[in-house]
Amino acid sequence: MAVISASMVAELRGKTDAPMMECKRALTEAEGDMVKAEELLRVRLGSKAGKAASRITAEGVVTCSINEGIGALLEVNCETDFVTKNDSFLALAQAAVELIAKHNPADLTALSALPYAQDGFGPTLEDVRKGLIGKIGENMSFRRFQRFASGAKLVSYLHGTRIGVVVEYEGDSVAAKDVAMHVAAMKPVALSSADVPAELVARERSVAAAKATDDAATATAAGKPVQSAEIVAKRIEGGVQKFLKEVSLLNQSFVKNDKQTVEQMLKATATSVSAFTLYVVGEGLVKKVDDFAAEVAAQVAASKQTS
């Protein structure tokens, strides 16, 4: 049996950029034959798997699965919009969301451990993800998911592959589908005003107060009468209430008929919505701006360390 030295592992890692343990494993299987080991890695992981695994994934797709009252919504990220059209990537995303609906994993770690095979990779979803990173040459990751099994009726709407909505409802399916489309267009943050997160309300109240202060200073400079504290307080509260109506689903003007609110439309169709979930690809993620000179310098440094 060939002896696999640390320098051999380092040399193979420098050629393939594959993880250290994968390099050692390939060399062991190839009995120390560097060329054969490199071929094994390029088949198993591709030449870019290690480097790609550290890159930011701010593009991607949202996928959905609803079957017999059980549903799931999933965001899968990648690096570029080009990969969102790759059949293998799309197959992985759809398979993953169906696994969520079927197996109810507790978190992303549990999801990744579920049995799945694709494109010659497996036996888990995580193994397929790693394999496709090497095959496609881009990092990809499961970012977040939501499973639905409350007993309510479910309807979904996907706007292309970048926006996904699931609505939990009772009543008319057409009205519920309209609500899902409305959510995708208007992006409410909560079902009702009472459900808007406290931190958002506090932030809006702070903004309204600052605006009131600026308006008061402007009025004073112009020689206008100073408003009483009571009037200022009412203006601030009025601004907050306007904000709550704008960001809560039931209070928003319905996109198909701005003469009525979503709540009024639902009442007219004898339909009620108990919850909705909205995913927008890359929401909250910061895309990396590549520094080409720095990247070249890093590659040169890495080659010196392995030489």
171-220 pLDDT per residue, tens: 999 999 999 999 999 999 999 999 999 998 998 888 888 887 777 778 77
pLDDT of 14: 64
| CATH number of the domain located at residue range(s) 1-47 in this protein | 1.10.8.10
Burial group, residue 272, by CB count within 10 angstroms (0-12, 13-18, 19+): middle
* 82-104 confidence digits (pLDDT tens): 999 999 999 999 999 999 999 99
Q: Is 98 helix (H, G, I), strand (E, B) or coil?
A: helix
> Phi/psi zone of residue 287: left (φ > 0), alpha (ψ -120 to 50 degrees), beta?
beta
Which stretch, 40-49, 217-226, 256-265, has highest mean pLDDT?
Answer: 256-265
pTM summary value: 0.73
CATH topology of domain 59-149: Tetrahydropterin Synthase; Chain A (3.30.479)
The answer to whether 167 touches 273, Cβ cutoff 8 Å, is yes
* 172-181 confidence digits (pLDDT tens): 999 999 999 9
Please state the domain extents for the chain. 1-47, 59-149, 193-280
